[in-house]
Amino acid sequence: MRAPTVPAGAAGLPTGRLADALGRPLRDLRISVTDRCNFRCGYCMSKEVFDKDYAYLPHSALLSFEEITRLARQFVAHGVGKIRLTGGEPLLRKNLERLVEQLATLRTPEGRAPDLTLTTNGSLLARKARALKEAGLDRLTVSLDSLDDAVFRRMNDVDFPVADVLAGIDAAQAAGFDRIKVNMVVKRGTNDHEVLPMARHFRGTGVTLRFIEYMDVGATNGWRMDEVLPSATLIARLQEQLPLVPLEASAPGETAARWGYADALGRHDAALGEVGVISSVTQAFCRECNRARLSTEGQLYLCLFATQGWDLRSLLRGGASDEAIAAAIAPIWQQRSDRYSELRSQLPPDAPTAGTGRRRVEMSYIGG
C-alpha cells in the first residue's frame, strides 16, 4: 500500500481534465462496495481459495457510504463522468440504495449528473431493483454465464438456479431499467456451447448481451490461454446463425466492440438489438483505458491487473480536507502508465503472465 502525497499550493486541484502519462483521461470510476460474494465462480472467487476460513475485511475497514461519496465527489471534479458500483457482489452490502441516493447528488464541472451503474450477479436483483431505480441508479449490468441450469449451477459453484437470475432481469425491466447489459464470461470447453442459446434468448428483448474473453485476473484462477475463446472466433460462430453488422463505438474508451443484429437487407435492425465482445486478451484496449478502481477499503488501483494500490482511506480518516484529497489524486493519475493487457499480448501465448512477478490483486477486492 502506498501513501499518497499532497502537492503544495494549487497543484493538483481539479480542472475536470486530468490525463495520465499516456494521455488517457480519467473518466470512469469503479467502486467496490464489498469483497464478499454469494457465488464461487472459479474464474473469480474459487471455493478452494475463498473457503469458510477466508479472512474477509472487517466492517471497520470498509469505507462508509459517506466516505465513498466524499471520494467520488473529488473524482467527479477531476473529470469522472461514470461511476460503476461493483464488488464482490454489491447487493450484499446492506442498504446499497442509500449510497446510490448520495452518489446521485454529485455533479460534474459541467453540471451533469454522472452516469450511475451497477454490476451484479443478479441473485438479489428481484428484491432490490425497484429501490435501486428509485434511488437514482441509471443502468445495470448482470453477469450470467449460461442459460443451461446445470452448467450455471456448476459455474457459480453454489448451486444457484438460473431462473432466479432471469427473474431478477425481468424485475429490473419492470422497475424501469432499460439498456440492461448481460455479461457472459466465455470459457472454452466449459460454457462456449452456450453462446448461441444466450444470443437467441436475449435477441430482441432490449437486453444487450456481451461476451467477455476469459481473463487471467487475480492470482488464483488458474488461467490458461487454451481456455480463451477469441472474440473473432465467437463472432464468426454467431454470424453463421444470426447475421451481424459492426456498429460504431457509442463512447470513447468503450470496452466492448458492438455488433448489431442485421435485417434481411443486411442493415442493423434496432428492434433486434445488439451484442458486444470484450476482447481483453486477444485485442487489448489499454490505449483507451480511462478507468480507476477504488477498493472496498479505499485503495485506489489504476489497472485491473495492478499489484499495488494507493491508500486514500488514510487521507480520509486522517482528517484531510476535500482539496487535499483532490490534490493527492491528481499526481497519482498523472503518473499512471499501466497497460498490462497490451504488454501481455506481446508475449508468447504460453507465457503465464506479463506482470512483474508480484502477486496481483484479486478481482473480487477491486471489482471487475
We find the least distance from the C-beta atom of residue 277 to ligand SF4, in angstroms, to be 15
Residue 31 bridge partners (DSSP):
85, 294
- Residue 55 in grid coordinates: 479472512
**Candidates 32-40, 45-53, 268-276, 298-306 — which segment interacts with ligand SF4 by CB under 6 A?**
298-306
CB of 343 to ligand SF4, least distance (A): 8
Q: Which one, of 234, 356, 219, 340, lies nearest residue 280 by Cα?
A: 340
Nearer to ligand SF4, 36 or 344 (CB): 344
Taking residue 206's Cβ as centre, other Cβ atoms within 10 Å add up to: 12
Other Cβ atoms less than 10 A from the Cβ of 1: the count is 10
Count how many residues are written for the chain: 368
Angle between helices 96-103 and 125-135 (to 10 degrees): 30
Task: Give yes or no for residue 256 binding ligand SF4 (CB under 6 A).
Answer: no
> Binding ligand SF4 by CB under 6 A: which of 259, 305, 333, 365?
305
- For ligand SF4, which stretch binds (CB under 6 A), given 7-15, 89-97, 189-197, 285-293? 285-293
84 binds ligand SF4 (CB under 6 A): no
Q: Is 345 in the site for ligand SF4 (CB under 6 A)?
A: no
Least distance between ligand SF4 and beta carbon 340 (Å): 4
CB 155 within 8 A of CB 161: no
For ligand SF4, which stretch binds (CB under 6 A), given 164-172, 201-209, 300-308, 355-363?
Answer: 300-308
User: Does residue 225 have a known ligand-binding role?
Assistant: no
Stretch in the footprint of ligand SF4 (CB under 6 A) among 52-60, 170-178, 240-248, 338-346? 338-346
Q: Nearest approach, Cβ of 276 to ligand SF4 (angstroms)? A: 15
Q: Are 85 and 99 in contact (CB under 8 A)?
A: yes
Determine the Cα angle at 317 with ends 106 and 74, to 5°.
25
Burial class, 54, CB count within 10 angstroms (exposed 0-12 / middle 13-18 / buried 19+): exposed
The single residue among 30, 181, 339, 360 that binds ligand SF4, judged by CB under 6 A, is 339
> Which of residues 289, 292, 316, 325 is near ligand SF4 by CB under 6 A?
289
Residues 178-237 that bind ligand SF4 (CB under 6 A): none
Q: Which residue has the cell 450511475?
A: 116
CA distances from 109 to 26, 78, 146, 269 (A): 14, 8, 41, 37
Is 284 annotated as ligand-binding? no
In the chain, what is the greatest distance between 2 CA atoms, to the nearest angstrom?
Answer: 63
Amino acid at 358: R
Cβ 34 to ligand SF4, closest distance in Å? 21
Residue 81 Cβ vs ligand SF4, minimum distance, rounded to whole Å: 17
Q: 185 or 304, CB closer to ligand SF4?
A: 304
Contact with ligand SF4 (CB under 6 A) among 152, 202, 261, 340: 340
Q: 37: buried, middle or exposed (CB in 10 Å: 19+, 13-18, 0-12)? A: buried
- Exposed (0-12), middle (13-18) or buried (19+): which is 363, by Cβ within 10 Å? buried
Stretch of 150-158, 201-209, 332-340, 353-361 contacting ligand SF4, by CB under 6 A: 332-340
Is 87 or 168 the residue whose CB approaches ligand SF4 more closely?
87
At 244, list the grid cell: 451481424
Instruction: Candidates 341, 361, 364, 368: give the one binding ligand SF4 (CB under 6 A).
Output: 341
The answer to whether 131 is a known ligand-binding residue is no
The residues facing 182 across adjacent strands are: 142, 209
Grid cell 502537492 is found at 7
Nearest to 346 by CA among 289, 281, 302: 281
Nearer to ligand SF4, 146 or 341 (CB): 341
Q: Which of 7, 227, 285, 345 is close enough to bind ligand SF4 by CB under 6 A?
A: 285
Is 293 marked as binding a ligand? yes
Q: How many residues bind ligand SF4 (CB under 6 A)?
A: 11
Q: Which residues bind ligand SF4 (CB under 6 A)?
A: 285-286, 289, 291, 303-305, 338-341
Q: State the binding site for GTP.
A: 30, 84, 119, 181, 291-293
